[in-house]
A = this chain, B = another copy of it.
């Protein structure tokens, strides 16, 4: 574990050269020794470790993590989400998304993760990334609340960053519904960013997992948010952006979902503000599927037992008997005077032959939409 901790600090993830050495069969101890001794076989890792090779703080880092109840996990641990990473980064290796043309070097798994809470793997086994802008509108927050609550109540884990706005509400709502969540940080496990979410992160660690790729003490910096985003996408079956304006960082997470072969989803919003511009553009470009709630999300992710949303609407917004009429039936029905009409007048009003009119009137009577008294036909009350 010392070697992994050393490598975690000296090689800032993601590191493709380090992954290549691991894939070639060298273990952490061998690679750590190679980095310290500037071994000739390091290849590109030599450059990546040039600045920090002598920065050996493995003991201190492990102690700093332990002090906040955290631990280091590696590909050798049972809770390592190996399959998730294999699938996601395996897809990336064959994929050709525009995003990956810019970020190909980052499309590799982390070499180790610092976690608080857990275990990690079962927590993400059925999970969705829920992300969005920090500058959320009231609408964006309410939409986030609905979606996270719905996911949590169906035992889906919400995975997000720890930022204010959409991320924070996604965690809060899911936890409030009795679910568990995973927060992926862009700083050390012993840092609290943003500071006001300290209590939230404690709750997440209690019910779910706080996780980061970076060693203790690492400050949250812009470039780390970008690499952090790939982990949200890699750990989940799909990512949904709830509210994101034109240059929202949340769109970067969605691009990662796309590049890693995960399901990319976006929630629509009002066109009268700029808050959902990014969501709408992704839907227009065919790069994200429009979802209106957690049922849509679960259905897209192939959840067993997820109801078809259109079918639910059919039930929730039942058709009235009149809405179910065919057009000729409707012509006859419409031609009946509010106070009742004889068949000849109905035929004239409907512009249909009398025999057909009478046939349809009898049919409508059977269904209770029309009533008959002697020769007078009337519309049934209260339809």
Query: Which positions in A face B, CB cutoff 8 Å?
Result: 11-12, 47-48, 50-52, 55, 102-103, 106, 139, 142-143, 146, 221-224, 226-227, 245-247, 267-272, 274, 276-277, 280-281, 283-285, 289-293, 296, 309-310, 313, 316-317, 319, 322-323, 326-327, 330-331, 333-335, 347-348, 350-354, 356-357
Contact = CB atoms under 8 A, between A and B. Distances in A.
Nearest to A218: B349
A21 to B, nearest CB: 17
Contact of A270 (B55, B269, B277, B284): B269
Nearest to A354: B51
A280 B292 CA distance: 8
A245 to B, nearest CB: 7
Nearest to A226: B327
Contacts of A270: 139, 143, 269-270
Contacts of A291: 284
Contacts of A226: 327, 330
Given A272-B143, A276-B268, A290-B290, A247 B323 contact: yes
A289 B296 contact: no
A146 B273 CA distance: 11
Contact of A269 (B146, B268, B319, B322): B268
Nearest to A221: B334
Please tell me how many copies of the chain the complex holds.
Answer: 2
Given A51-B353, A267-B271, A284-B296, 5 more contacts: A47-B353, A52-B351, A226-B327, A269-B269, A274-B317
Given A47-B356, A51-B348, A348-B51, A280 B290 contact: yes
Given A283-B283, A284-B289, A327-B226, A50 B271 contact: no
Nearest to A296: B284
Q: Is the interface of A mostly helix, strand, loop or mixed?
A: helix
A11 B246 contact: no
Most chain-B Cβ atoms within 10 A of its Cβ — which of A139, A271, A281, A283?
A: A271
A353 B11 CA distance: 11
B277 A292 contact: yes
Nearest to A317: B246
A310 B292 contact: no
Given A139-B272, A247-B323, A268-B269, A350 B281 contact: no
B246 A313 contact: yes
A323 to B, nearest CB: 6
B327 A106 contact: yes
Nearest to A327: B223
Nearest first, the 8 A-B pairs at minimum CB distance are A268-B268, A221-B334, A12-B351, A223-B330, A246-B317, A50-B353, A51-B347, A271-B292
Contact of A48 (B48, B146, B289, B351): B351
